[in-house]
Amino acid sequence: MSTQASPKRSWTFWAGFAIVTLLIAGVVSYFASSSPDGLDSATLQGCEVVETADGEELTGSCIAQDATDHHMSSSPLADYSIAGGENTGGIAGILGVLVTLAIAGAAFWVISRSRSSKD
């Protein structure tokens, strides 16, 4: 006995899922902390961050002195913002969710098409 959901019920579920996901991303992203997390804090032990004319500089001896910027640190959605703008965390979160859902949706569509063509 098959227990498949009706197309309308399935569509309603996915629409509700998308709305809730976008709301969570848009609201929760504004609360993302710019303060160092546990890993950042641990790598900074033994160092002091000093403000210079060229920006921040580390003094002392710590793991973070060997760190380099991530290759995507200059990307448009880096640091929970859009192009480094302040108070754009929610929009960046929503865009991130939309991109993730689009990629996942495309992957699932390709998989389902390849499975149905084998049947």
| pLDDT for the residue numbered 9 | 81
Render pLDDT for 89-116 as a digit per residue (tens, 0 to 9): 788 888 888 888 899 989 998 998 887 7
- In DSSP notation, the chain reads ---PPPHHHHHHHHHHHHHHHHHHHHHHGGG---S--HHHHHHTTTEEEEEETTEEEEEES-GGGG----TTTTSTTGGGSSTT-TT-HHHHHHHHHHHHHHHHHHHHHHHHHHHHHH-
Is the domain of 93 the same as that of 65? Answer: no
- Range of the structural domain that residue 113 is part of: 80-119
Q: How many domains does the chain have?
A: 2
Give CA separation, 68 vs 39, 58, 62, in Å. Answer: 15, 13, 14
Percent of the chain surpassing pLDDT 70 = 87
- In angstroms, the CA 28 to CA 38 distance is 20
Amino acid letter at 103? I
Q: Tell me, yes or no, whether 87 lies in a domain.
A: yes
Q: Tell me, yes or no, whether 58 lies in a domain.
A: yes
Q: Tell me, yes or no, whether 25 lies in a domain.
A: no
Q: Tell me, yes or no, whether 59 lies in a domain.
A: yes
Q: Tell me, yes or no, whether 111 lies in a domain.
A: yes
Is the domain of 88 the same as that of 65? Answer: no
Is the domain of 87 the same as that of 57? Answer: no
Model confidence pTM above 0.75: no
Is the domain of 118 the same as that of 89? Answer: yes
